[in-house]
Structure 1
Amino acid sequence: MEEKELSDFGRPSAGDSDVEIGPERESGPDKNHRLSVQSTKPPMGLAHEIAFVVLASSAQLFTQAALAESIAPLNIMSKDFGNPSPGQQSWFTAAHSLTVGTFILIAGRLGDMFGHKKLFVFGWFWFSFWSLISGFTVYSHSQIFLDICRALQGIGPAVLLPSSLAILGQAYPPGRRKEMVFSFFGATAPNGFTLGAVFSGIMAQLAWWPWTFWLMAIFCCVNGVLAIFIIPNYFHQDDTASQKDTKQTFDWKGAVTGVLGLVLFNIAWNQAPIVGWSEPYIIVLLILGVLIFVAFLFIECRVDQPLVPVASFDSHVCFVLMCMALGWSSFGIWLYYIWQFTVNLQQNTPLNVAAQLAPTCVAGICAAFTVGKLLSKVPTSFIMMCAMIAFCIGNIIFAVLPVGRLYWKQLFWATLITPWGMDMSFPAATIILSNHVPRRHQGIAASLVTTVVNYSISWGLGIAGTVEVNVNNGGLTDADTLKGYRGAWYTGIGLSGLGAVVALAFIVSSLRHRPSQH
């Protein structure tokens, strides 16, 4: 595999013909030509381009809405499933995030092989079908059946996210227009969650919670139909000629070991709060998960066409993915336990909580477009550092929040600060990795970021759940329950704080090696 010399992450050397080169690396006529190329938009009219970007970004919007549709009405849903324990309730959300984060690896590679538009359309219809079935689980009264359907529902976003990001990555060459489009994509995350929380709250309080899933099924089906007509057919065609002489293969060994390792590891962490770490099968699952994932990394370093090009990872890639894992795991904790705190201890309704989280939409949009402006001017390590600090501050505010505190004195500020962690880290990471890989491997770049984001949410909830049940004395009183919630937030502080340390270390390392990069 040909090595690429990078002076800054996402800015390849001129010798790499597969990757677009940023204008800051060129001068004279070549620079002017490159600037004109980078400022061009996809070959479509303005109205078509707007519809194209909105539809592609809706994959992120609906993914986060699906996350909210089990968090917001959690207590209301639980009544139809026999009021399971808090550890069992966390699976309503963790099952969805687990499959979203796990199967993205496979979906990204399949999109590179067979075309991202095909996968994009398929993902909407799969998402629609299992949203429909998830609503009907109410008649079964089986929490396990709901968890299975939520897991299968999560495969839909797992297909959609890398396909949508790859489509955008193929449509826009590196430059300001691409940065703003990817920032818009990232800004849909907090808005998607809030939208999902509002609709699920309305359905749960005023109608019937299954309608949340049934409405999701309708909207996803409509998006699938629209994708057939709005997403152009030319994607992936430019790479066909260069791949004619290369037999495209699917890394089945990597797929099996990667999925199995991630699933077993995550099941162990999320099941432990329910049955306890003293159960032998929990330790067995955890050890097997780690060993199988090590085997996955070994395979990926040796196959010709891997699911994840591990051998080509440099320190920049590892730094970005590590920060994303630590930051987003803390964000999942922050978000999940907000609902538990405000509903169970503050006695708020799901709709009230959704209204209290509304500032996250405005803050998220501001953060995403701020990053779009700063990416070409500020080092990535500094942006990641700011994102980790925002995640950490959000968890600190809630870890010291007393029951009954006026919303405007404390919670409001958390909703303004924490989304900056989301929408600074996600657009930065997606743009960086998209620019880092060849155009034909945009699916792999997209899958790396979205895998880490969604898998980390599920993994973080498992760790926080373990801490909660071990410090809340059974949750018999409100004081004990609050102690458990704070233990979870302290866990979030530790994870995001570690992310900030990693970002700081990378900043120091970059400063030390700056003279040698010329």
Structure 2
Amino acid sequence: MAHLRESYWSTSTTENRQSEIYGPFDATRDRRYVRSLSIYPEDESNPEIDTIPIAPPAAPPVPDKDHPYYRTEYPSEVWQIPREASIEPLELKKPVTVDLLRWSRVSDEPADEGMSGLHEFFFVTTVCMAQLCTQAGLGQTLAIIHVIGSTWGITNPSELSWLIAGYTLTIGTFILVAGRLGDVYGYKRVFLSGFLWSALWACLAGAAGGSAFALVWWPVAYWAFSFTLCIVAIIGYYAIPSAAHEREKPQTFRAWLVELDIPGATAGVSALVLINFAFNQGHISGWNEPCIWEALIVGGVLMCIFIMIECHYAKNPIVPLNALSPQVSLILGAVACGWACFGIWSFYTWQFLQVIRKLSPLLTTGWMSPIAIMGIFASMTTGMVLHKLGPPVAMLISMLAFTAATALIATVPEDQIYWGQTFVGMLVISWGMDMSFPAATLLLSNSVSKKHQGIAASLVATVINYSMSIGIGIGGTVEAQVTRGAVTKERVLSGYRAALLTGVGLAGTGAIICIALIVAAKLPVFIEVQKTRRREAAVMKREKEMATPCYSCRSCRNGGSTTVGSHAGSSVA
């Protein structure tokens, strides 16, 4: 385990070769004359010191055990002070305080060395299980949602929708926060903690529904899920390599607030929760209830405060809004529309099959199984589509898949056989899910600077999960307005169809946004091609005129010794 000791700092100037000891090193002090930074050994009486010329690199370096590293009071800035560098004055654009950036080495070998094929297989599989388990938690609740509701005496589908909306709300709200925790405390630690936390609450959810000895009761599903999560966490502990270096942890409460962007995270999370509560509770309590509008208004105000904090006050923003271009808003808008549609499709397709078609949870799951098979095929071909057609076109295809699949379920006759619109809808929806995420991630990565590309996938995942929750709320509002509390089969079916058609409209809006993105990308090229063609046409016309004998003007009428081009722009008649 490497250890970097406490040190005293000194500066050397061109005016005075004497060194002044103090700590930490203040780079603003006599910065016009600062030439070097010296590290004193543990034995301060030893006159030998290690003097290091100051020469910040153009890009943040990768930590390495042979060089000390420093960072400024701005957490996004990391400086390396190499032992061999040209001695040049340090020109500072702003006052900074350079502090020691501590690091520890967990393993004596790099994380990617010595990994066997089997080890790599378990590593990749374990990481992929995070996405699978997230969706499994959603799917298992959807399958038995009415069974759970009957246990607690909840028969209103609008109230049952909170089981799904609340789950996706929690995931979407805390993705960025969890990412920042991983930055500070280590990704492996946060990854495994997430599995264990989910396992704990899955176990508690099962315990809340029945006795531990009721092996044929729905809580068994949650206990089995909890057990699976624990197994994945155990395998991940051994399969996931430990990071070679660990970011410095905040040492003070103020540093903790700045590093984790606690003010911004608090405002953002609170805003998302309140806005989502308004949309998902509005159709249950009624939009005329003051608490709904109060939640919506306060959520909107908090969102404005979040934007202000991230743009102007946060030194290490959890979402670098200043780095996002207007195109990013369109991309995320399309993702939001498509996945809000998918949230509606997921909830109301299950309701249609179980409530209208009277299928059991197990049979409904069987009817849904083609999604997994087609999803594998869609995932394998998405890379080729992205390579051949580009991310904007892939995004458009995914939006059209969301639209078509939802339209098929919205218009399917009540008594139609499974192999009709229902089966086709299951096949089509897979393309929407499996093409939109990678396409949106690539589009977003290409729309931001290189240092902010890492947050692209997090933003897309946040929008996906949050939009599913909001979509369920929007669908529930439409359904409530259509059914008006009626419980007849015809009115309930009409409410389902209205909600699904709302999803069609949302996905269609996403498709329109994708078309706009494609046009915006192609328009400059089209304009340039047209300009080039006009220039070429003008040159060809000029050459043709230069080669055509002139007989029209008086001076050339008899001999025709000149050409039309030679009189271009002249007033000779």
TM-score range, shorter chain: 0.7 to 0.9
The aligned residue for residue 310 of structure 2 is 300
Question: Given the alignment, which residue of 229, 232, 236 partners 2:241?
Answer: 232
Cα distance in 2, alignment partners of residues 58 and 435 from structure 1: 27
Cα distance in 2, alignment partners of residues 229 and 436 from structure 1: 37
- Equivalent AA in structure 1 for residue 219 of structure 2: P
Cα distance in 1, alignment partners of residues 241 and 527 from structure 2: 44
- Equivalent AA in structure 1 for residue 118 of structure 2: A
**Unaligned regions of 5+ residues in structure 1, if any?**
1-15, 20-40, 141-202, 241-245
The aligned residue for residue 279 of structure 2 is 269
Contact 1:109 1:444 survives alignment (8 Å): no
Task: Return the offset for 1:45.
Answer: 2.3
* 1:415-426 mapped onto 2 (5 Å cutoff): 415-426=426-437
| 3-state DSSP of counterpart to 1:93 | helix
Task: Return the offset for 1:139.
Answer: 5.1
Contact 2:324 2:447 survives alignment (8 Å): no
- 1:4-38 superposed Cα distances (whole Å, 9 cap, x missing partner): xxxxxxxxxxxx9679xxxxxxxxxxxxxxxxxxx
Contact 2:323 2:452 survives alignment (8 Å): no
Contact 1:323 1:499 survives alignment (8 Å): yes
- Equivalent AA in structure 2 for residue 51 of structure 1: F
Question: Given the alignment, which residue of 132, 135, 143 partners 1:61?
Answer: 132
Residue 130 to residue 441, structure 1, CA distance change in 2 (3 Å): farther
Pair 1:497-2:568 in alignment = no
The aligned residue for residue 320 of structure 1 is 331
Question: Given the alignment, which residue of 393, 398, 402 partners 1:387?
Answer: 398
The aligned residue for residue 269 of structure 2 is 259
- Equivalent AA in structure 1 for residue 164 of structure 2: T
Task: Return the offset for 1:49.
Answer: 1.6
Which of the pair has more CA radius of gyration?
A: 2
Task: Return the offset for 1:473.
Answer: 3.3
Task: Return the offset for 1:486.
Answer: 0.5
Cα distance in 2, alignment partners of residues 378 and 431 from structure 1: 13
Question: Given the alignment, which residue of 343, 364, 367 partners 1:353?
Answer: 364
Cα distance in 2, alignment partners of residues 376 and 509 from structure 1: 19
Residue 380 to residue 452, structure 1, CA distance change in 2 (3 Å): same
The aligned residue for residue 462 of structure 1 is 473
Residue identity over aligned pairs, in percent, reads 40
Question: Which TM-score applies when normalising by structure 2?
Answer: 0.68
Choose 422-431 or 409-418, whichever is displaced more.
422-431
Question: Given the alignment, which residue of 331, 345, 361 partners 1:334?
Answer: 345
Task: Return the offset for 1:287.
Answer: 1.2
| 3-state DSSP of counterpart to 1:256 | helix
Cα distance in 2, alignment partners of residues 42 and 373 from structure 1: 28
Contact 1:72 1:339 survives alignment (8 Å): yes
Contact 1:91 1:270 survives alignment (8 Å): yes
Task: Return the offset for 1:375.
Answer: 2.3
Residue 118 to residue 442, structure 1, CA distance change in 2 (3 Å): farther
The aligned residue for residue 13 of structure 1 is none
| 3-state DSSP of counterpart to 2:359 | coil
Cα distance in 2, alignment partners of residues 408 and 340 from structure 1: 18
Task: Return the offset for 1:56.
Answer: 0.4
| 3-state DSSP of counterpart to 2:388 | coil
Residue 234 to residue 318, structure 1, CA distance change in 2 (3 Å): same
Q: How many residues align?
A: 416
Pair 1:507-2:518 in alignment = yes
Cα distance in 2, alignment partners of residues 398 and 462 from structure 1: 19
Cα distance in 1, alignment partners of residues 406 and 517 from structure 2: 23
- Equivalent AA in structure 2 for residue 55 of structure 1: T
Question: Given the alignment, which residue of 206, 217, 222 partners 1:208?
Answer: 217
The aligned residue for residue 414 of structure 2 is 403
Question: Given the alignment, which residue of 86, 93, 104 partners 2:157?
Answer: 86
Pair 1:448-2:459 in alignment = yes
Cα distance in 1, alignment partners of residues 180 and 454 from structure 2: 6
Contact 1:384 1:424 survives alignment (8 Å): yes
Pair 1:103-2:174 in alignment = yes
Contact 1:332 1:461 survives alignment (8 Å): yes
Pair 1:126-2:197 in alignment = yes
Cα distance in 1, alignment partners of residues 290 and 244 from structure 2: 49
Pair 1:364-2:401 in alignment = no
- 1:210-231 superposed Cα distances (whole Å, 9 cap, x missing partner): 0111111111111111111111
Cα distance in 2, alignment partners of residues 113 and 375 from structure 1: 34
Task: Return the offset for 1:431.
Answer: 4.6
Task: Return the offset for 1:516.
Answer: 9.0
- Equivalent AA in structure 1 for residue 346 of structure 2: L
Cα distance in 1, alignment partners of residues 286 and 339 from structure 2: 25
Question: Which TM-score applies when normalising by structure 1?
Answer: 0.75
Q: CA RMSD in A?
A: 2.9
| 3-state DSSP of counterpart to 1:407 | coil
Pair 1:428-2:499 in alignment = no
Task: Return the offset for 1:435.
Answer: 7.1
Pair 1:45-2:120 in alignment = no
- Equivalent AA in structure 1 for residue 371 of structure 2: T
Contact 1:42 1:49 survives alignment (8 Å): no
Contact 1:124 1:221 survives alignment (8 Å): yes
**Unaligned regions of 5+ residues in structure 2, if any?**
1-57, 62-110, 249-254, 530-573
Choose 373-382 or 416-425, whichever is displaced more.
373-382
Cα distance in 2, alignment partners of residues 457 and 137 from structure 1: 26
Cα distance in 1, alignment partners of residues 234 and 453 from structure 2: 24
* 1:79-228 mapped onto 2 (5 Å cutoff): 79-138=150-209, 207-228=216-237
- 1:313-345 superposed Cα distances (whole Å, 9 cap, x missing partner): 124432321111110110010011111001111
Q: Higher relative contact order at CA 8 Å, sep ≥6: structure 1 or structure 2?
A: 1
The aligned residue for residue 250 of structure 1 is 260
The aligned residue for residue 291 of structure 1 is 301
Residue 294 to residue 405, structure 1, CA distance change in 2 (3 Å): same
- 1:195-221 superposed Cα distances (whole Å, 9 cap, x missing partner): xxxxxxxx99x9211011111111111
Contact 2:410 2:500 survives alignment (8 Å): yes
Larger proportion of helix: 1
Task: Return the offset for 1:429.
Answer: 2.6
Task: Return the offset for 1:73.
Answer: 0.6
